[in-house]
Amino acid sequence: MTRRVALYYAPATSDPLWSLGARWLGRDPDSNAPVPQPAVPGIAEATADPRGYGFHATLKPPMRLRAGTRWADVLRAVDEVAAGIAPFDMPPLAVADLLGFLAVRETVPSVALQALSDACVAGVDALREPADAAELARRRRGGLAPAHEAMLTRWGYPYVFATWFFHMTLTRRLSAEEHAIFRPAAESHLVPALRQTRRVEDICLFTQSEPGAAFILADRVPLSG
């Protein structure tokens, strides 16, 4: 079995945002092949962290699976989640500053996106190996608000349910000078695709084979509610 599994939103491979996001980060998470990035000085280093995860928005954070869990068990659990949710329209998206990082975010909150994330977090949690002491300590290193601590203790991650927010990470945390370079570049690169309307039609399963390995798109489970 794979070491970690995550449930993500990712654009359809036919959506221009899929290919543009892969180009911005420098990797196609479907083939795991490198992709030439835009000619922006320093972009390879600034996108190194999100490149390993692939262009996505997290629904259920990466989790280690309980001993004995089979891939069929994962697919069955995700199928059950997907069966309770109908496809829905994505709100308009834009490049935004998120606590110093650049990310693609909704321009208006989406109840449907929140409900999808909530269902993914709860629906497959029985398959999650609880976080060990080292992982919990790492999550707490920067200090957590009480609400985030409660989510970490129960769900193994501080940003779920009421503390979750939709975002597709584009860079590491940037300085003000770097923002002046990368934000206009990201907007120029992505905005033609961001202007398009898009529909959320599936849950993407990404897998990581070993620590430090890139996350790969393993499957798409259609929403069928």
DSSP string, 9-56: E---TTSHHHHHHHHHHTEETTTTEE-PPPS-TTHHHHTHHHHHH-S-
Query: Which has the closest alpha carbon to 52: 188, 201, 214?
Result: 214
Q: What is the pLDDT of residue 1?
A: 60
Give CA–CA dist 29/215, Å, rounded.
7
Q: Average the pLDDT over 7-22 and give the result.
A: 97
Contact status, residue 75 vs residue 88, Cβ threshold 8 Å = no
CATH homologous superfamily for 4-222?
Cyclic phosphodiesterase (3.90.1140.10)
Q: What is the pLDDT of residue 131?
A: 87
The DSSP call for residue 14 is: T
Contact status, residue 61 vs residue 122, Cβ threshold 8 Å = no
As given in the structure block, the two tokens for residue 81 are: 């989640």
Q: Average the pLDDT over 100-121 and give the result.
A: 97
Q: Average the pLDDT over 144-152 and give the result.
A: 94
Q: What is the pLDDT of residue 24?
A: 98
Give CA–CA dist 133/140, Å, rounded.
11
- Condensed to tens digits (0 to 9), the pLDDT of residues 38-89 reads 999 999 999 999 999 999 999 999 999 999 999 999 999 999 999 999 999 9
As given in the structure block, the two tokens for residue 87 are: 């496809």
Answer whether residue 211 shows pLDDT above 70. yes
| 216 pLDDT tier (thresholds 50, 70, 90) | very high
Q: Specify the long-range contacts of residues 147-151, CB closer than 8 Å, at least 24 apart.
A: none
Least confident range of 22-26, 84-88, 192-196: 192-196
Helices 146-155/133-140 angle, 10° precision: 160
Q: How much of the chain is helix, strand and coil, in % rounded to 5?
A: 40, 25, 35
Q: Average the pLDDT over 103-112 and give the result.
A: 96
Q: What is the pLDDT of residue 170?
A: 98
Evaluated on CA atoms 220, 56, 119, 125, the torsion sign reads positive
